[in-house]
Amino acid sequence: MIKGLDDLLKSQFNIVISDKSLLDEAFTQASYVNEHPHQNLKFYERIEFLGDAVMQLVVSEYIYRRYPKLPQGRLTRLRAAMVNEDSFASFARECHFDQYIRLGKGEEKAHARERDSLLCDIFESFIGALYLDQGVEPVRAFAAQVIFPKLDEGRFDEFFDHKTELQEVAQQHGPVAIDYELLSEDGPENDRAFKVAVKIDGETLGVGVGHSKKNAEQSAARQALVKLNQDHA
């Protein structure tokens, strides 16, 4: 058993995996297995294959339901922004999974533990282990804690156009007036700060700041979307 991993999962995510061998498999790289040939160990790759498919479904379903007007092309782009090596490696680090990977000595020396590709793999193999142990519902709960809030925090903003989205969501039941109003603009030339409000039919639903007017507008639109989604929840 991997020391401390159980405690981490319990304290951070309230997850208790019954089948500890699944956890061991999910956090063990082939290099470690090769260095311990007599322990009959398994490495994470097969379980990662499954975890990847589980995560694709859980993210797809979440954005499908959350953005009922988003066309397929934009759903696909948003999913690609959420499900990729970069973001999964970040999630793995935020969950402190990097500290629990079992690596061979050579890989350890080569700083594999900091490598995005490995961290992404381990994040997926953890998902695979959780799914095999408990089914899809706990994976959804984990994603709701680790991944989905990042949407509202703007983590995927560069892939996602909040102004267009706000237009789609706000006009779901008919046309409304959406206006962006510059509230202030200050700071030195090389560090301007813009403050923008977005109003829907005259009511201010969000205020955003940014180093450009465009960024401030996107940020205001994002806020308005959070508000609209709360109102509809």
The footprint of a copy of itself (CB under 8 A) covers 45-46, 48-50, 52-54, 56-57, 60-61, 64, 70-72, 75-76, 136
**In the complex, minimum distance from the CB of residue 214 to a copy of itself, in angstroms, rounded to a whole number:** 28
Q: Residue holding tokens 């000595």?
A: 105
Distance, CA of 207 to CA of 230 (rounded, Å): 16
Q: By the 8 A CB rule, do 71 and 159 touch?
A: no
**In the complex, minimum distance from the CB of residue 4 to a copy of itself, in angstroms, rounded to a whole number:** 27
Q: Of the listed 24, 25, 98, 124, which one is catalytic? A: 124
Q: Is-catalytic flag, 86?
A: no
Residue type, 143: A
State both tokens at 59. Answer: 């993210």
Residues annotated within the binding site for Mg(2+) are 48, 121, 124
Name which of 8 and 141 has its Cβ closer to a copy of itself.
141
Alpha carbon of residue 67 to chain centroid: 16
Q: By the 8 A CB rule, do 6 and 24 touch?
A: no
Q: Is-catalytic flag, 52?
A: yes
How many residues are there in the chain? 233
Candidates 89, 114, 100; CA nearest to 8 is: 100
**In the complex, minimum distance from the CB of residue 75 to a copy of itself, in angstroms, rounded to a whole number:** 5
Q: Of the listed 24, 52, 107, 217, which one is catalytic? A: 52
State both tokens at 211. Answer: 């180093």
Candidates 9, 43, 12; CA nearest to 112 is: 43
Name which of 50 and 228 has its Cβ closer to a copy of itself.
50
Q: By the 8 A CB rule, do 17 and 132 touch?
A: no
Q: Is 14 helix (H, G, I), strand (E, B) or coil?
A: coil
**In the complex, minimum distance from the CB of residue 63 to a copy of itself, in angstroms, rounded to a whole number:** 9
Query: Which positions are catalytic?
Result: 52, 124
